[in-house]
Chains A and B, each alone.
Chain A
């Protein structure tokens, strides 16, 4: 099946905007994606292997949170998955907030993976 990769995550899929994967369920398909692109895993899943709460995944046009079997929903080759990030941009400026040294985000220096998101 086809998985649509949003712009912010394409850095981890060799710039590809879609990736073809196998798998009988949504869970397996996402697993196939992250085993091919291991750097993606941290962005999509928590350490416990659960989908991160701010990552929205759609099976075709339906939010998987509203599917009865959720991640265990069966999929076929004709289906597509979309990963939809929340984006806040409105003016397109690089974002004084995001760039400024005074930005209050203090990454715990013991967590390199958090740091790597930048």
Chain B
């Protein structure tokens, strides 16, 4: 295969300093790495898209291993809820840009590594320009739009896409977009419709899992640089952390693949929001739109005003019982999926305000109730999160 090692054959590799020889000695005495391999690592340029759950362990391990240049793409700031898995960020970093936090940790771990910060969202407009300076791309993103964007950009620019993905206790890893191997679109020609994207109720991830999958990705990156071993090209590794089982499926390059097939129809980056059936979120405004899809929206201030004024408001909470345990505002709990069979518990004559964590599920519940003939249904925009922010900070945010 056309490994990065082959591509750089004949190129003069950078020499190692005495400090580097001491630092990498356990690599240097491995015949599969050796001086030349370590020099290849030093010469390598790897782009990490995302410095979150998957990006964090990748950045740390690739820096420790001596990858010479690490590009980081992220525009987020560190949040307290990141810390249970994004091990490159520490408690004092909460509120800092993730790129700054990550760059500091990398510099402390291995000052020989050059960090290039791309403080932006990867988009169709900038992806080719950002990718062009790198040898390998590692995908640590968290949505389908960016997954397809990274894949297509890698195919179009001829760079391997080291892929990892996680959901709850499950992970997947592979190496896509090599010359002879399949790409992400060969595996999944189309994204699932947004309605099938797991909801908040099904979200969450075991903190250790992105570590496990991110380290598999890092291993693949290193192998590609060294030209050693058997990379995950044409194989999808499935990780089940609960059962602690690893399985492997064969992936084939699809000759009809629209981007890497024999007659590609996608020859430039496209609009990935549209491709994934997503209308980009409206610009954030503090003003709550008062109607969405036929459902009146109210803010936490208005709900609070009505309750304080003693108006008769029935608050319906459509989250899951385990979320109710974390935080609740005294709503009547009927999880969204149970609503059809428990609809008889609700009084059609009452003024019902539906809420969830941040307003998505409750919107759907409101639409369903309207469809079932409920006339007085409103959605609490921003959910219990907005309630915590605007009305009662003693309600924990999760």
Contacts and interface: CB of A to CB of B under 8 A. Distances in A.
A29 B292 CA distance: 42
B336 interface: yes
B196 interface: yes
Nearest to B280: A104
Interface string A75-118: 00000001011111111111111111111111101101011111
A101 B281 CA distance: 9
B172 interface: yes
Contacts of B55: 90-91
B367 interface: yes
Nearest to B144: A88
Interface string B363-381: 1100110110000000101
- Give chain A's interface secondary structure class: loop
A49 B237 CA distance: 29
B204 to A, nearest CB: 7
A27 interface: no
Contacts of B207: 92
Interface size class of A (residues with CB under 8 A): 35 or more
A91 B210 contact: yes
Contact of B140 (A7, A90, A110): A90
Nearest to A87: B167
A11 interface: yes
Contact of B359 (A100, A106, A117): A100
A118 B53 contact: no
B281 A103 contact: yes
A92 B205 contact: yes
Interface string B159-173: 000001111111010
B250 to A, nearest CB: 5
Contact of A109 (B140, B202, B209, B370): B370
A62 B53 CA distance: 30
Nearest to A42: B196
B104 interface: no
Interface string B347-368: 0000000001111111110011
Contact size class for B? 35 or more
A78 B375 CA distance: 55
Contacts of A98: 197-200, 203, 360
B42 interface: no
Contacts of A82: 238, 247, 249
A53 B193 CA distance: 10
Contacts of B304: none
B143 A88 contact: yes
B3 interface: no
Q: Which of B172, B187, B195, B297 has the most CB of A within 10 A?
A: B195
Nearest to B297: A101
B321 to A, nearest CB: 14
B204 A92 contact: yes
Given A89-B205, A101-B297, A102-B284, A54 B191 contact: yes
Contacts of A84: 172, 236, 238, 249
Contacts of B301: none
Contact of B279 (A58, A61, A90, A104): A104
Contacts of A110: 371
A95 B191 contact: no
Interface stretch (B62-70, B79-87, B263-271): B79-87
Given A88-B142, A92-B204, 7 more contacts: A90-B139, A90-B142, A91-B140, A93-B52, A95-B143, A105-B277, A110-B371
Closest 6 CB pairs of A and B: A104-B279, A101-B359, A91-B52, A92-B205, A90-B142, A105-B194
Interface of A: 6-8, 11, 17, 43, 53-54, 56, 58, 61-63, 66, 82, 84-107, 109-110, 112, 114-118
29 contacts: A6-B170, A54-B190, A54-B192, A82-B238, A86-B188, A90-B141, A91-B50, A91-B55, A91-B82, A92-B204, A93-B81, A93-B203, A94-B204, A95-B143, A97-B143, A98-B199, A99-B383, A102-B284, A103-B194, A103-B278, A104-B194, A104-B278, A104-B280, A106-B293, A107-B367, A109-B368, A109-B370, A117-B196, A118-B195
